[in-house]
Amino acid sequence: MKIDLLVAEIGSTTTVITAYQLKEKNVKIIAQTESYTTIDKGDVTLGIEKALKNMEEKVKDKISWEKFLATSSAAGGLSMTVHGLVYDMTVRAAKEAALGAGAILKYITSGKLRESHLKHILKIKPKLILLSGGVDYGEEETVLYNAELLSNLPLDIPIIYAGNTAVKEEIEEIFKEKNKNIIITENVYPKIDHLNVEPARKIIQEVFSKHIIHAPGMEKIYDVVDEEVIPTPGAVMNTTELLNELYGDVLTVDIGGATTDIDSVTDGSPEIQKILVSPQPRSKRTVDGDMGIYVNAHNVVEMIGKEQIKKDFENYEEILKNISPYPQNDEQEKFATYLAKFCFLTSLKRHAGRIDYIFTPTGRKKVAQGKDLTAVKIIFGTGGILSRSKYKKEIFESLKQLKNSEDLLLPPKDVTFAYDKNYIFANVGVIANLDKEIAIKILQDDIEWL
């Protein structure tokens, strides 16, 4: 059987491969199989080969293909540090660019770097450093000072400069004199109240693609795939932006084994825009690395509280001992659902902005800070449990029982829910780089409304 397109999503636990037919009037999924990811065996292609063998058994035929694409969140991702001038301005803008690209932020600093900061960077051993600071033609001293210090670090890694454009030639010279790999891009915060994260985001994804071939177990990945591997979280953000084009203000939640990720694409409501104290990116991603329903299940249990859990699951300790990405019985699935509800609501609250009150010379004033989700029309679910569990609706609808006593800028209670029924949101994000129209067709066929 000749397959038009294969797409692999290489996760830390499992590798899922989906086969597509791309005939002009008949774009469809042919088959989907998976296997355990084989990073631990030093060769990710072993897991891919196993998943391909499973596919041949499923379609009862030998397979070949025209093109093979992949996304990955395995091999530890792309760890990076971010260093800027003022936290609420350039540092926050750089952070948005990093998270939107699927990077793993290990350390953030603002202002002039100190010796303790440099020691911490060396301890982390990031794969990438993002240096920002100053609006265009504004403050120059801090970013030049930081560049000098970073250029002297004994790290052979790329450094992205996304700061004050007035000193970009000097910044480039500082790093090149020390034989460092410096990449210059547009300022993430070119002027007051204006974010410009997309250029830096694109560069970070490109660095990820080059880095992935050197990650343990990933060296042979380009023996299999035909195009650059992109980070799975970045691919899901691409898909969320497509959903925004199709349906307006949207949010995607991905509850995984180790993390819970939320991507929102919305400008918010006009009422909140009027009182927003600082700009927010239209496309925003947050990653809660402490919340997942498999790798981090024990952590979620601690956050909920054991006494609270005992009220619903007296034998929760026994369930935890046997916890798996693939629940073996209904009790395990119900427990995973219980944890997923907490992850969903907690991550949503962390992602959302809030109403605050400040005191001014004319009295108390109402203001908004952070991401406004009040205009979100649809929440989409992806990831194992939100794509496949029979209890997915229960997870979504827990939002309706949430009592918003914290003035959070959450989606309205009458928001519509939908899910990624074929578990291919990451696939769609990478296919969009190949052919946007085909990606949209696949996406529309994949969405199941609740």
For the chain, which residues make up each domain, given as ranges? 2-75+215-223, 79-208, 246-421
Q: For 137, list phi and psi in degrees, rounded to 5.
A: 65, 25
Beta bridge mates, 191? 194
Beta bridge mates, 276? 368
Note the pLDDT of residue 211.
76
The CATH number corresponding to 246-421 among 3.30.420, 1.20.58, 2.60.40, 3.40.50 equals 3.30.420
Q: Give dist(CA 412, CA 126) in Å, integer.
A: 39
Q: Give dist(CA 200, CA 229) in Å, integer.
A: 18
Pairing mode, strands 14-23 and 26-36: antiparallel
Residue type, 269: S
What are the Cα distances from residue 314, in Å, to 102, 175, 310, 328, 331? Answer: 38, 59, 5, 18, 12
Let me know the angle formed at the C-alpha of 328 by 327 and 334, rounded to the nearest 5 degrees: 50
- Residues with Cβ < 8 Å from 271, sequence gap 6 or more? none
Kindly write down the DSSP assignment for every residue of 200-231, as one continuous string.
HHHHHHHHHHHHHTTSTT-TTGGGT-SS--EE
Q: What is the DSSP letter of 90?
A: I
Give the torsion through C-alpha atoms of 16, 22, 28, 32, to 10 deg.
-20
The CATH number corresponding to 2-75+215-223 among 3.30.420.40, 3.40.50.2300, 3.30.930.10, 2.170.150.70 equals 3.30.420.40
Nearest to 409 by CA among 277, 287, 300: 277
Please tell me the chain's helix, strand, coil percentages from 3-state DSSP, rounded to the nearest 5. Answer: 40, 25, 35
Burial of 217 (0-12, 13-18, 19+ CB in 10 A): buried
Let me know the angle formed at the C-alpha of 424 by 264 and 326, rounded to the nearest 5 degrees: 105
Nearest to 380 by CA among 347, 417, 349: 417
Do residues 96 and 197 touch, judged by C-beta distance below 8 A?
A: yes
Do residues 149 and 118 touch, judged by C-beta distance below 8 A?
A: yes
The third-level CATH classification (topology) of the domain covering 79-208 is Rossmann fold (3.40.50)
Do residues 281 and 269 touch, judged by C-beta distance below 8 A?
A: no
Note the pLDDT of residue 76.
59
Note the pLDDT of residue 213.
67
Task: Quote the tokens at residue 155.
Answer: 């790290």
Q: For 119, list phi and psi in degrees, rounded to 5.
A: -65, -40
Note the pLDDT of residue 385.
92
Instruction: For the chain, 450 residues long, give each residue's pLDDT as a single digit of tens.
Output: 999 999 999 987 789 999 999 987 789 999 999 998 888 888 889 999 999 999 999 999 999 999 999 998 876 567 899 999 998 888 888 888 888 777 778 999 999 999 999 999 999 999 899 999 999 999 999 999 999 999 999 999 999 999 999 999 999 999 999 999 999 999 999 998 888 988 998 898 888 777 776 677 888 899 899 998 988 888 999 999 999 999 999 999 999 888 899 999 999 999 999 999 888 889 999 888 788 898 889 999 999 999 999 999 988 888 888 887 778 899 999 999 999 999 999 999 999 999 998 888 888 899 999 999 999 999 999 988 999 899 999 999 999 888 776 799 999 989 999 999 999 999 999 999 989 999 999 999 999 999
Nearest to 434 by CA among 69, 17, 27, 19: 69
Note the pLDDT of residue 216.
73
Nearest to 83 by CA among 118, 110, 106: 110
Same fold, 2-75+215-223 and 79-208: no
Q: Hey, which bits of 223-369 come out as E strands? A: 230-231, 250-255, 260-265, 283-288, 354-360, 363-369
Which of helix, strand or coil describes residue 345?
helix
Note the pLDDT of residue 103.
77
Task: Quote the tokens at residue 88.
Answer: 């609420």
Q: How far, in whole angstroms, is CA 291 from its chain's centroid?
A: 14
Q: Give dist(CA 64, CA 71) in Å, integer.
A: 20
Nearest to 289 by CA among 255, 316, 320: 255
Nearest to 237 by CA among 421, 71, 16: 71
Which of helix, strand or coil describes residue 341?
helix
Q: What is the DSSP letter of 295?
A: T
Do residues 385 and 440 touch, judged by C-beta distance below 8 A?
A: no
Note the pLDDT of residue 309.
93
Note the pLDDT of residue 13.
76
